[in-house]
Amino acid sequence: MHGRVALGARTCRISASCGYLSHLGDGMTVEPARTVAAVLERFGSNFSAFSSAFNEGQYVLWLGSGISRERVPNVGELIGRVVEHLRFNIVEGKPGCEYRTALDDVMRLAGLMPEELASIDFSIVVDEWPLKARVISVLVTNYARVLDVLVGDDNPDDYLVWTGLDVPNTYGSPDLEPDVEHYCIAILMLEGLVETAVTANWDGLLETALNELTPAYGSLVRVAVSPDDFRVVGRRLEVIKVHGCAVRARDGEPESRNALVARHSQISAWTEQPKNRLMRKQLELRYAARLTLMIGLSAQDENFHTVFAAAAQDLARSWPISPPAVVLSEERLESYHQSVLRTTYGPTFEGNGTAIKDSSLLGAYGKPVLLALVLSSLTDKLSFLIGREIESIWGSAAVKQFQTDLLGLRDLAASHADPFDPTALKYPEILEFQREFAARLIDVANLALAVFRTGRMPTPGGGRYEPLSDRPAAQAVLNADFPSKQFGRFGVALALIGRGLTSGQWSAVPGDSRAAGDGVVRLVTSQRSARVFFVKDATTLTQLELEGSFDDSEGDALIVIADAEPPAQTRSPKSRFGRDGKVSAGRFSVASNITNTDSTDDLYEAFKLAGGF
């Protein structure tokens, strides 16, 4: 997943909302937020308390199949596979054929009238059945009972799971590639905003994304599938796989196949089985003590509801509460979602149901929500650091101005996360557009942070991600080694670029790790184009020059240095553009210029002058 999309070069406007209401059955309706820009707007209004708490690391992610729906088959496809597997293996003329008997048991779950059932020709493939859509739609709601159907006495109880679904190759395949959701979750975990991700998914896509993005995966992430896994200590992040892991089962680990939970008999008995006691207690603790964000999780399985109910007994939530105890990344509430809310808020749900549901329903699915959370969290960290650096110098009004300009930069980036006209593209093309944006975002963020910290370009197209901080910002600044002042000045520089973008002073083309000399970002006007590099200090600048990323004689380069420059290196930016007939790289020291100017406006003018604009 390393596509390209010019975030700053493409001109498009995305409306803040889709402008229509979702009316999908009897669930609660809400205006859907189907673009990243629309979700960010929601974070700034109705869900501002949630957004702030998330950026403080207060939420645990509870994940379901919705985050993997474009990488592994959805439930409907899988159920269709199971039905076709049974149909295909029927032996005509064999009395008591186990496959025909099992198929009859499955079809009874579809709720067809006798004459409808009799009309189905089992000699033709399921895809050609006139009643296929109706049959599959009903069986999806009974998927756990379908998978519990036994296929003769000689096949194991999990035959329809292991063989019918082909778990090793469907969910455990090493060829599966993470999607936008998995990469975004991985970034949020590496940024220290999510310590725990609880998932009902069998696939290893989140683990793959984490492993791709950080070389420290093995010492950083604990994947808990069995009770013994909770004994692993020293890992800052954890992925808890409630229903087992197909990757481990594929690799033949003992008991891993038996740990795959999908059948109704397993789900209904899960919380009472001794082998699951530790997992259950761990889940109850996280649900009771932390706030919950559910993404792609239908929450219809009985064992989850039992866990939530027990957690509520240990530490009840009462309405009103802010931030919300449970946030659902859905466009509508199903009955099982409402059951979760009723269980969580207990007696205070009565009489407050509408307000509670309003506080919980984000009205958006995983992709736009997670992309918005990544953009929001990075902006929030830099905004916090800007405040710490600028408040004592210029006061709160200046801090607010910089933060507003930084939000403008964020929103312009977000406007390129979705196609200008989705109706002009086919669904796979929209998915590829979003994947390219996510890949580009990862590459640009890693490029900017790597150059800023070290003066070195990251491995071209390497797919690694170095977080801004591995903790929420308020915690990161407590670490004496964290360069909080330098990152605050980095945020100021980005805010100045954001001001120029929103005012139309220039456009911006983000850099690319595969084009080391093009800068972290290129600012473009009708008269000038400048390659911008950000570094934290003079030592980092020297390393950048040694790397050959720029030459001081190149007039189209602008070097932004967080710290004050040593006196020997200080040169007036005015002499670089025209006064002596020579053109050389522009240089802008954020710290020095803050000292030498009196306001945000003066600093902006100094930045433009240094860049030759």
Tell me whether strands 507-510 and 291-295 are parallel, antiparallel or unpaired: unpaired
What's the pLDDT at 585?
Answer: 79
User: Which residue has better confidence, 507 or 566?
Assistant: 507
195, exposed or middle or buried, with CB in 10 Å at 0-12, 13-18, 19+?
middle
pLDDT at position 6 over 70: no
Dmax (CA) of the chain = 99
Nearest to 53 by CA among 290, 390, 366: 290
User: Which residue has better confidence, 207 or 548?
Assistant: 207
Q: What is the mean pLDDT of residues 422-441?
A: 94
What's the pLDDT at 583?
Answer: 61
Q: Give the C-alpha separation, 43 to 40, whole Å.
A: 5
281 and 427 co-located in one domain: no
Identify whether 573 is part of a domain: yes
Alpha helix ranges (H) inside 296-352: 302-314, 335-345
Q: Give the C-alpha separation, 129 to 358, whole Å.
A: 41
302 and 390 co-located in one domain: no
The model's pLDDT over 123-141, given as tens digits with 9 standing for 90+, comes to 999 999 999 999 999 999 8
Tell me whether strands 529-535 and 237-241 are parallel, antiparallel or unpaired: unpaired
Residues near 253 by Cβ (< 8 Å), separated by ≥ 6? none
Amino acid at position 434, single letter: Q
Q: What is the mean pLDDT of residues 206-232?
A: 95
Q: Give the C-alpha separation, 555 to 287, whole Å.
A: 56
Identify whether 40 is part of a domain: no
User: Which residue has better confidence, 28 or 560?
Assistant: 560
With pLDDT > 70 as the criterion, what percentage of the chain qualifies?
A: 92
The model's pLDDT over 21-53, given as tens digits with 9 standing for 90+, comes to 333 344 566 789 999 999 999 999 999 999 999
| Two structure tokens written together for 16 | 């803040």
Q: For residues 28 and 333, is the Cβ–Cβ distance under 8 A?
A: yes
Q: For residues 433 and 5, is the Cβ–Cβ distance under 8 A?
A: yes
Q: Give the C-alpha separation, 102 to 84, whole Å.
A: 12
253 and 340 co-located in one domain: yes
350 and 422 co-located in one domain: no
What's the pLDDT at 27?
Answer: 58
217 and 251 co-located in one domain: yes
Identify the band that residue 333 occupies on the pLDDT scale cut at 50, 70 and 90: very high
3-state helix vs strand vs coil in the chain, percent to 5 = 50, 10, 40
pLDDT at position 18 over 50: no
What's the pLDDT at 582?
Answer: 53
C-alpha dihedral, 243 to 248 to 253 to 254, nearest 10°: 0
Q: Give the C-alpha separation, 167 to 173, whole Å.
A: 9
Amino acid at position 150, single letter: L
What's the pLDDT at 413?
Answer: 96
Identify whether 43 is part of a domain: no
299 and 390 co-located in one domain: no
488 and 449 co-located in one domain: yes
Q: Give the C-alpha separation, 191 to 308, whole Å.
A: 27
Domain residues for the domain of 98 are 75-170
Identify whether 50 is part of a domain: no
For every residue of 37-103, DSSP letters joined together read HHHHHHHTTTTHHHHHHHHTT-EEEEE-GGGGTTTS--HHHHHHHHHHHHHHT--TT-TT-HHHHHH
Strand order in 557-561's β-sheet? 507-510, 521-524, 529-535, 557-561, 586-589
Q: Give the C-alpha separation, 492 to 599, whole Å.
A: 12
What's the pLDDT at 571?
Answer: 46
Identify whether 511 is part of a domain: yes
pLDDT at position 206 over 60: yes
- Number of domain units in the chain: 3
pLDDT at position 506 over 90: yes
Handedness of CA 212, 214, 218, 223 (dihedral sign): negative
* Domain stop point among 170, 203, 236: 170
3-state secondary structure of 533: strand
Angle subtended by helix axes 48-55 and 36-43, to nearest 10:
90
Domain at 348, CATH number: 3.40.50
420, exposed or middle or buried, with CB in 10 Å at 0-12, 13-18, 19+?
middle
Identify whether 423 is part of a domain: yes
340 and 386 co-located in one domain: no
Of 145-149, 253-257, 499-503, 532-536, the one with minimum mean pLDDT is 253-257
| Cα-based distances in Å from 42 to 36, 353, 376, 382 | 10, 21, 11, 20
What's the pLDDT at 253?
Answer: 67
Nearest to 535 by CA among 496, 591, 582, 574: 591
389 and 353 co-located in one domain: no
503 and 587 co-located in one domain: yes
The residues pairing with 344 across neighbouring beta strands, listed in sequence order, are: none
What's the pLDDT at 222?
Answer: 97
306 and 395 co-located in one domain: no
Residue whose token pair is 């931030």:
323
Q: For residues 277 and 253, is the Cβ–Cβ distance under 8 A?
A: no
Q: Give the C-alpha separation, 372 to 51, whole Å.
A: 10
Residues near 579 by Cβ (< 8 Å), separated by ≥ 6? none
* Domain stop point among 153, 170, 187: 170
| Cα-based distances in Å from 373 to 10, 283, 366, 477, 490 | 22, 24, 10, 21, 21
What's the pLDDT at 1?
Answer: 39
* Domain stop point among 361, 389, 420: 361
What's the pLDDT at 567?
Answer: 61
Q: What is the mean pLDDT of residues 426-436?
A: 94
What's the pLDDT at 2?
Answer: 38
3-state secondary structure of 155: coil
Q: Give the C-alpha separation, 277 to 254, whole Å.
A: 19
pLDDT at position 252 over 90: no
513 and 600 co-located in one domain: yes
Q: What is the mean pLDDT of residues 454-477?
A: 91
pLDDT at position 407 over 70: yes
Q: Give the C-alpha separation, 427 to 69, whole Å.
A: 13
| Cα-based distances in Å from 390 to 50, 400, 402, 473, 598 | 26, 10, 9, 16, 12
What's the pLDDT at 130?
Answer: 93
| Two structure tokens written together for 15 | 């409306």
